[in-house]
Amino acid sequence: MHLAENLEHVPVLVLLLMPSIDMTVHDDEGPMPVGPTHASVYPAIQNFMLAARSLGLGTAMTTLHRIYEDDVRELMGIPERYEVLALLPLGHPTGKWGVAPRYRAADKITSWDRFGEKRTP
C-alpha cells in the first residue's frame, strides 16, 4: 500500500511494454498454443533491477498500473497493440538500504522428487 500511496513521488517510472502478438504455432493437425510469452520478459526485468541496485538505485516490479490501465495508456500515448506488463518505479532509496537479508539455506527449502521430501545421501 505504501508504494501505491507514494507513486507520485518516485522520480522515474519505467513501463515495460510488449507487442500483442499471436504466438500460436500450427501444424498439420491445427493450432498448438505455446502459452503466454510474458515469461520471457521477467529475466529482463530482473536484470534491470540488479543493474539498478548495483548503481545504488532502488526499484520494485509491480502491476499497480493495471488498476488505472486506461488512464496510463492515454497519458503515455500507448497504442492498443501493446500490453503494459510491468511498472518499475526507480529512484534513490530512502530509509533503510543495504545488503539484502540472508535467506534460509537451500537445503532447508528444497524438495526432492515430491513436495516436502528431503534429499537422502
Give the CATH number of the domain where residue 37 resides: 3.40.109.10
Cα dihedral sign for 73, 12, 42, 115? Answer: negative
Place of cell 497504442: 79
Residue 121 lies inside a defined structural domain of this protein: no
Residue 68 lies inside a defined structural domain of this protein: yes
Cα dihedral sign for 88, 93, 99, 103? Answer: negative
Residue 120 lies inside a defined structural domain of this protein: no
Is the pLDDT score of 94 beyond 90? no
Number of domains the chain is built from: 1
The average pLDDT across 76-89 equals 93
Residue 40 lies inside a defined structural domain of this protein: yes
What domain range includes position 77?
Answer: 2-93
Residue 103 lies inside a defined structural domain of this protein: no
Residue 106 lies inside a defined structural domain of this protein: no
pLDDT at residue 26 in the model: 81
pLDDT at residue 32 in the model: 77
Q: How confident is the model at residue 64 (pLDDT cuts 50, 70, 90)?
A: confident
DSSP letter for 89, please: E
DSSP letter for 85, please: E
Residue 109 lies inside a defined structural domain of this protein: no
